[in-house]
């Protein structure tokens, strides 16, 4: 419930601080005194968009702060989900800066306007004649029926399953679209993949083939050079091996004459061993080298294919070609597997559809079960509010499609007068009738839901006498379990309040100010007398006011 409201620098309010308690609070005041300003300030902490023109002093910031006791609202999960500190006494603050920027805080933590608005909707429910138009909306009507039918948990199950169903439906549409496009590209992609599969793609392959090509293409030059190497190394007259053998023999003999000679002998021996090994490798290479025009042609063809593929796919190296090959392979595989994926997704959708139908059927059953009770309670309450001939025709019909709240189409019709035709609420009910219907619905909901603070903004406009008295009784009765505010012009309603505040204007040196104060019992009598007979208060008006209060 709202326990304190502080408004600074807003419209005609310089500084206002009001404390509230539980029960039924009435707010009265002359037309133009500033009751709408009070509501406007409250709307800011409930998440309404700010307007720079609402600043009283354009050089200072506007601050509106509301304190709420939220112990019974079950909002802990909301605070956890939005990373906010949960406090039983929660403070919501809104600031409008002279620059036009707006800031919002919940327990001193900055929040977005969206988060503030969601919390505000669960703290205070403001109803005016304009907002009674939602009575004609199917969503509001179903919400009312679901509250009475105790459908909250079933609706949560339905919403979760509907989200799965919608996700799977979207995935199926994507698969079908993919299949449609892929069939056109499949043949071309398969051709490209086969072309890449036929190429010897591996890291470093081009360098290896180019080296092999150079060897095969210059085999005669290589053979000639190898022949010369053989002659230089192994010729009997001038061969380096033979000469080194003689050197080795000499150094070996010298090795016996001291360490220095011995070390030189070892070095000569090492050179001999190394050169002998080199000679053997050249001999082996010479044995391997042979003209092979077929192999040369094969290597040349591979190189040509690789360079053609690089150019065709605009790739810089074989590594990029391997990546392109992987992408093509994935596309071809996906196209070949998409039919089974589509079949599996359709099967999944059928299962989800069956589950959704089961839950939707349960919702419908619960709703239909409660309709006679809702109809009876509505008509009974409206009879007390001066609509004795009002009757409702409330019917639920199965829908072919899954909606946000099930598979039901709702018909919620009213006949205001005996013998008149049934019609939609917004078409056949007057503003005053809509107000009374809204009050009746809220009074019924109060028995089934833990409603937030309710603020009725002149919802009693257009009624008078005994009807207004009964409206006050209903609000007074609702206030036994929740906090109720009523901004009213009717003394019969104002007299029912446990607490009475007056909004008034006062002219000061700095200009006109809107103020608000709680009324004592004697002040209430005077206020009610003015509401009954005007500024010129008569004894009969005072007597009537006392009678109303008693």
Mean pLDDT of 419-438: 85
User: How far from chain centre, in Å, is Cα 270?
Assistant: 79
Mean pLDDT of 489-495: 92
| Mean pLDDT of the chain, nearest integer | 85
Q: Which of 192-206, 266-280, 338-352, 358-372 has the highest mean pLDDT?
A: 358-372
pLDDT tens track for 140-182: 889 889 989 999 999 999 999 999 999 999 999 998 888 777 7
pTM value surpassing 0.75 = no
Beta bridge partners of 102: 96
Mean pLDDT of 332-347: 82
pLDDT at 184 over 80: no
Mean pLDDT of 41-58: 84
Mean pLDDT of 25-41: 86
The domain ranges of the chain are: 1-123+452-519, 180-336, 524-550
Which regions of 43-148 does DSSP assign to beta strands (E)? 62-69, 89-96, 102-106, 109-111, 124-128
pLDDT at 465 over 70: yes
pLDDT at 418: 87
User: How far from chain centre, in Å, is Cα 71?
Assistant: 27
Q: What confidence category does residue 434 fall into, taking pLDDT thresholds of 50, 70 and 90?
A: confident
1-123+452-519: which CATH number, 3.40.50.300, 3.40.630.10, 3.30.470.20, 3.10.105.10? 3.40.50.300
pLDDT at 414 over 70: yes
pLDDT at 137: 76
Least confident piece of the model among 136-150, 157-171, 454-468, 513-527:
454-468
Mean pLDDT of 495-517: 89
pLDDT at 36: 82
User: Dihedral (C-alpha) 440, 444, 446, 451: value to the nearest 10 degrees?
Assistant: -70
Q: What confidence category does residue 187 fall into, taking pLDDT thresholds of 50, 70 and 90?
A: low
DSSP string, 150-163: T-HHHHHHHHHHHH
Within 10 angstroms of residue 117's Cβ, the number of other Cβ atoms is 15
What is the percent of the chain where pLDDT is above 70?
91
pLDDT tens track for 264-296: 878 988 888 888 788 787 777 766 666 667 767
Contact of 300 with 213, CB cutoff 8 Å = yes
Structure-token match 């019909």, residue found = 397
Max intra-chain CA distance, the chain: 154
């Amino acid at each position: 419930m709202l326990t304190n409201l502080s408004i600074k620098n807003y419209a005609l309010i310089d500084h206002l601080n009001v404390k509230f308690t539980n029960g039924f609070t009435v707010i009265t005041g002359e037309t133009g005194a500033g009751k709408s300003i009070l509501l406007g300030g409250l709307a800011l902490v409930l998440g309404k968009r700010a307007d720079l023109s609402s600043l009283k002093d354009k050089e200072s910031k506007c601050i509106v702060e509301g304190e709420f006791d939220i112990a019974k609202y079950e909002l802990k999960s909301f605070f956890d989900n939005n990373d906010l500190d949960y406090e039983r006494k929660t403070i919501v603050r809104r600031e409008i800066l002279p620059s036009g920027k707006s800031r919002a805080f919940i327990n001193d933590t900055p929040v977005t306007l969206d988060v503030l608005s969601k919390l505000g909707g669960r703290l205070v429910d403001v109803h005016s004649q304009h907002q009674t138009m939602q009575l004609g909306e199917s969503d509001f009507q179903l919400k009312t029926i679901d509250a009475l039918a105790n459908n909250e948990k079933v609706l949560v199950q339905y919403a979760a399953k509907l989200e799965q169903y919608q996700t799977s439906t979207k995935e199926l549409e994507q698969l079908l679209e993919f299949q449609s496009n892929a069939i056109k590209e499949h043949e071309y992609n398969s051709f490209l993949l086969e072309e890449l599969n036929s190429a010897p793609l591996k890291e470093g392959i081009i360098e290896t083939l180019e080296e092999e090509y150079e060897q095969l293409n210059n085999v005669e030059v290589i053979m000639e050079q190898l022949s010369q190497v053989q002659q230089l190394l192994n010729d009997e007259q001038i061969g380096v091996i033979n000469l080194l053998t003689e050197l080795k023999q000499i150094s070996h003999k010298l090795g016996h004459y001291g360490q220095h000679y011995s070390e030189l002998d070892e070095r000569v021996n090492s050179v001999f061993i190394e050169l002998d090994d080199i000679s053997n490798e050249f001999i082996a290479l010479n044995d391997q080298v042979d003209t092979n025009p077929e192999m040369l042609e094969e290597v040349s063809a591979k190189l040509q294919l690789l360079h053609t593929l690089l150019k065709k796919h605009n790739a810089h190296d074989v590594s990029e070609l391997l990546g392109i090959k992987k992408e093509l392979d994935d596309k071809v595989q996906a196209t070949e597997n998409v039919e089974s994926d589509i079949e599996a997704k359709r099967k999944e959708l059928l299962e989800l559809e069956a589950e959704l139908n089961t839950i939707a059927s349960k919702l419908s059953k619960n709703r239909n079960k409660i309709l006679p009770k809702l109809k009876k309670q509505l008509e009974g309450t409206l009879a007390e509010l001066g609509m004795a001939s009002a009757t409702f025709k409330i019917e639920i019909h199965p829908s072919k499609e899954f909606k946000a709240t099930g598979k039901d189409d709702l018909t919620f019709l009213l006949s205001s007068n005996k013998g008149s035709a049934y019609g939609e609420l917004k078409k056949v009910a007057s503003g005053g009738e809509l107000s009374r219907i809204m009050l009746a619905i809220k009074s019924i909901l109060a028995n089934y839901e833990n409603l937030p603070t309710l603020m009725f903004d002149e919802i009693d406009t257009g009624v008078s006498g005994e009807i207004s008295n009964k409206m006050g009784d209903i609000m007074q009765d609702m206030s036994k379990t929740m906090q109720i505010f009523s901004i009213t012009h009717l003394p019969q309603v104002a007299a029912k309040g446990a607490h009475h505040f007056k909004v008034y204007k006062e002219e000061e040196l700095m200009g006109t100010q809107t103020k608000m104060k709680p009324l004592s019992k004697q002040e209430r009598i005077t206020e009610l007398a003015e509401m009954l007979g005007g500024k010129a208060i008569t004894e009969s008006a005072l007597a009537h006011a006392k009678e109303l209060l008693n």
